[in-house]
Chain A
């Protein structure tokens, strides 16, 4: 870590390093759970403060200070505003995707130790020509589309199975699965899908790790 000599001959850190220390030290002590003392202080505020420290460190770094000073054009000012925009978008915790590609950055954040075992749905396509294969929603499009469609279908099926007597929900789920089957037929036109079986699987998080699956739905045909 760089040090420069201070007025009393005692080494001290440049300002940007101090800002980085102010950012890093609280995060290190977070592992003790001390952030609980913040109580009702909005997390957004804390995140904005920490982001502000990072932004200050960046702007105060001698190299960035030199470049931003010398490149005083509108493009430079726009560029320097960009980290602030990204940071504020994250700290504001938007609940919608309307700001995409700006959004809240979070992943595997909540403690899940006390949560029930996770569940997933598995789909099997049965072909008119005979045989069957696992059906991955949107596999021929992209992994991003697969993630989205798998999540959306999971939500719809969970809702449907919670109220199994609701014909409207069952019909909506059937139409969605038929749509997924059509996507698969577009990817692999040689195989026509006769029906799709849906299984719900519980995935134990303690040994033995064996999925417990049960058939919950069968949907006929893929073609509209």
Chain B
């Protein structure tokens, strides 16, 4: 099983990469421009939809995203008090995303962000210094944080596959539904402007068969995604599949899942960061091998 043992540095590295990325996202996406739209046109997600439009003026949206970016940057640095800063940063970022009215593209990163904010991810690599990192923590908590985060992340793929199998199988795979989706989605007004999906249908003999087969295979790989947590061989199949799947989604369907790819690589590639500075106390991982990894 992946994340059977997790060093504090690994959790800290995931924290730095994820929170820095979310901070950059908030800095780069000028959501305050949505204040230029006529009142009532753009629907917002979450409970903030109940708030009047006056709350979503240019200045307040700008303040919201800059505050989220600043707090997430501090959280990336592990600045103390870490948990209040990280949780506040995540809440503001979630509210900011809700004003953009996202679907589920950012949800995987949000789930990981909350796990890191609530877990012991600032026990290492904290800008506040090693003096504050000496609190005794059960070493298993580091592993548990990433185990749960990875499981939840993989569930998000699984739910989509399971629902398609229960609701649409087998018709959805054999009635050229994917051709319909390619035609519809690749020609939508995506910000990347790709219309390669429709061109692919036009230019490739046998495209319909390839799409139907790919739809079936990718649905099963999505449905079984949680196996990647348990079985290394499945992980070797799933990770390249998922990266390719998101790339093809972008090219053929104009749907971008950059944050999901980042989370996928952070959570499902077995990597170890370098040891920097003083090892936090009480967190020395055991060297025990896991028979089921």
Residues of A whose CB lies within 8 Å of any CB of B are 1-2, 14, 16, 20, 24, 27-28, 30-33, 35, 43, 46-47, 50-51, 54, 57-58, 61-64, 66-73, 75-76, 78-80, 82-83, 86-87, 90, 97-101, 103-115, 117-118, 120-123, 134, 136-150, 152, 156, 172, 175-176, 178-180, 182-183, 186-187, 201, 203-205, 207-211
Please tell me if the beta carbons of B163 and A136 are within 8 angstroms of each other in the complex. Answer: no
Beyond A113-B175, A149-B42, whether A144 also contacts B106 by CB under 8 A is yes
Any A CB within 8 A of the CB of B170: yes
30 contacts between A and B (CB under 8 A): A27-B162, A33-B171, A43-B163, A43-B166, A43-B167, A47-B159, A51-B155, A61-B230, A61-B292, A63-B292, A80-B148, A82-B148, A83-B151, A83-B155, A90-B159, A97-B43, A98-B45, A101-B106, A106-B159, A108-B181, A113-B175, A120-B184, A120-B189, A142-B100, A144-B97, A146-B189, A147-B103, A156-B41, A172-B41, A205-B183
Residues of B within 8 A of A183 (CB): 33-34, 36-37
Segment of B16-24, B139-147, B274-282 in the binding face:
B139-147
The interface residues of chain B lying within 8 Å CB-to-CB of A33 are: 169-171
Contact A108 B140 (CB under 8 A): no
What's the dominant secondary structure at chain B's contact region?
Answer: helix
B98 within 8 A of A: yes
Q: Are the C-beta atoms of B143 and A67 separated by less than 8 Å?
A: yes
A219 to chain B, nearest CB (A): 12
Q: Is the CB of B230 within 8 A of A79?
A: no
CB-contact partner of A101 in B110, B144, B162, B190, under 8 A:
B110
> Which chain B residue shows the least CB distance to A175?
B38
Q: Return B62 CB to nearest CB of chain A, in Å.
A: 12
Query: Distance (Å) between the CB of B45 and the closest chain A CB?
Result: 4
A145 touches which of B100, B119, B156, B193 (Cβ 8 Å): B100
- Tell me whether A79 and B115 are in contact (CB under 8 A): yes
B208 CB, nearest partner CB in chain A, Å: 9
State whether the Cβ of B102 lies closer than 8 Å to any Cβ in chain A: yes
Interface with A: B73-81, B218-226, B261-269, which one?
B218-226
The answer to whether B100 and A148 have CB atoms under 8 Å apart is yes
Decide: A111 near B230, CB < 8 A? Known: A35-B169, A67-B143: no
Q: How far is the CA of A50 from the CA of B171 in the complex (A)?
A: 21
> Hey, what's the 0/1 contact readout for B150-193 against A, CB within 8 Å counting as 1?
01100110111111111111111111111111011001111111
From the candidates B140, B201, B293, name the one contacting A67 in the complex (CB within 8 A).
Answer: B140
Task: Tell yes or no: B270 within 8 A of A by CB.
Answer: no
Contact call B147/A67, Cβ cutoff below 8 A: yes
Nearest first, the 10 A-B pairs at minimum CB distance are A113-B175, A118-B184, A105-B159, A97-B45, A112-B180, A179-B37, A70-B140, A100-B46, A100-B45, A71-B140
Residue pair B162, A137 in contact (C-beta under 8 Å)? no
User: Which residues of chain A have C-beta atoms less than 8 A from B64's C-beta?
Assistant: none
Partner of A75, one of B118, B155, B170: B118
Contacts A109-B168, A143-B190, A150-B189; is A73 near B36 (CB within 8 Å)? no
Binding site for A on B (CB under 8 A): 1, 4, 29-31, 33-34, 36-38, 41-43, 45-47, 49, 94, 97-98, 100-107, 110-111, 114-115, 118-120, 138-141, 143-145, 147-148, 151-152, 155-156, 158-181, 183-184, 187-193, 198, 201-202, 215-216, 220, 223-224, 226-227, 229-231, 255-256, 290-293
Q: A68-B144, A101-B111, A141-B29 are in contact. Are A117 and B1 (CB under 8 A)?
A: no
Name the one of B166, B188, B216 contacting A47, with C-beta atoms under 8 angstroms.
Answer: B166
Q: Which residues of B contact A122 (CB under 8 A)?
A: 189
Once the chains bind, are A203 and B110 in contact (CB under 8 Å)? no
Q: Are B166 and A136 in contact (CB under 8 A)?
A: no
Whole-angstrom distance between the alpha carbons of A83 and B151 in the complex? Answer: 7
Given A110-B172, A152-B41: A186 in contact with B189 (beta carbons within 8 A): no
B216 nearest in chain A by CB position: A31
The answer for the CA separation of A14 and B291 in the assembled complex, in Å, is 12
Decide: A76 and B34 in contact? CB cutoff 8 A: no
Q: Please determine whether B171 and A97 come into contact, CB atoms closer than 8 angstroms.
A: no
Additional A-B contacts beyond A105-B160, A144-B100 (19; CB < 8 A): A27-B224, A30-B170, A43-B163, A46-B166, A63-B4, A66-B140, A69-B140, A79-B144, A90-B159, A100-B94, A101-B107, A103-B107, A108-B172, A108-B181, A175-B41, A179-B38, A183-B34, A186-B30, A208-B202
Contact A211 B36 (CB under 8 A): no
- Whether B189 lies near A123 (C-beta < 8 A) is yes
Q: Please indicate the chain A residues that have their CB under 8 angstroms from the CB of B231 in the complex.
A: 1
Contact status B191-A139, CB under 8 Å: yes
Q: Is the CB of B145 within 8 A of A62?
A: no
